[in-house]
């Protein structure tokens, strides 16, 4: 194995340690919002890679980083690896008492909002299909209405 090649486990471990260290530094020193700090740190990391490449042209650091990032299936990594952790982290910050106070508004918006979205997007898709000359049953337009923004997963047997 080349010195610049990392296994996914090594890369994840390095990224977690760097994120934790920089998050701690941000919390103690800069006190920026977390999303702003992580975006800024990502930009600084990119500048560091570019700087290393400029100072040491034979180092091929940007090539190694590009190769590593090119080998990652981001959809698979995000949906099967990171989404559960992101949802859990978001749920930790929910104030249950505040949620309990707004339960009727939440129930109303989540129920009737989905129904309204389904009707609006489905009817719009049905009208648009008719305008371009495609006959699509209205029920199929309603079925694809709210889920049309999500990619349809390919079956496991597809190449």
Residue given tokens 């100072």 in the structure block:
55
Contacts of range 136-142, beta carbons closer than 8 Å, 24 or more positions apart: 142/118
Closest by alpha carbon to 140, among 153, 125, 155, 152? 125
How high is the pLDDT of residue 26?
92
Closest by alpha carbon to 64, among 49, 48, 75? 49
pLDDT over 60 (residue 10): yes
pLDDT over 90 (residue 58): no
What's the whole-number mean pLDDT along residues 89-102? Answer: 89
Structure pTM? Answer: 0.50
Higher-confidence position of 135 and 148:
135
Read off the tokens for 97. Answer: 């008492």
Question: For all residues of the chain together, what is the average pLDDT?
Answer: 83
pLDDT tens readout for residues 105-114: 999 998 998 8
pLDDT band at 154 (very low <50, low <70, confident <90, very high): very low
CA torsion through residues 133, 138, 142, 144, sign: negative
What's the whole-number mean pLDDT along residues 14-26? Answer: 88
How high is the pLDDT of residue 5?
67
Read off the tokens for 138. Answer: 């209205």
């Amino acid at each position: 194995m080349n010195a610049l090649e990392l296994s996914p486990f090594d890369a994840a471990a390095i990224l977690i340690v760097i994120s934790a260290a920089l998050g701690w530094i941000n919390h103690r020193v800069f006190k920026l919002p977390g999303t702003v700090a992580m975006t800024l740190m990502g930009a600084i990391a990119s500048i560091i890679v570019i700087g290393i490449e400029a100072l040491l042209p034979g180092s091929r650091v940007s090539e190694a980083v590009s190769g590593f990032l090119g080998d990652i299936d981001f959809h698979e990594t995000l949906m099967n690896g990171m989404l559960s952790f992101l949802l859990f982290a978001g749920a930790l910050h929910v104030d249950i008492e505040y949620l309990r106070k707004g339960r009727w508004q939440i129930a109303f918006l989540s129920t009737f909002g989905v129904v309204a979205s389904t009707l609006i997007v489905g009817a719009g898709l049905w009208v648009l299909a008719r305008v371009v000359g495609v006959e699509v049953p209205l029920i199929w337009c309603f079925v694809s209405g709210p889920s049309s923004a999500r990619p349809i997963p390919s079956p496991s047997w597809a190449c």
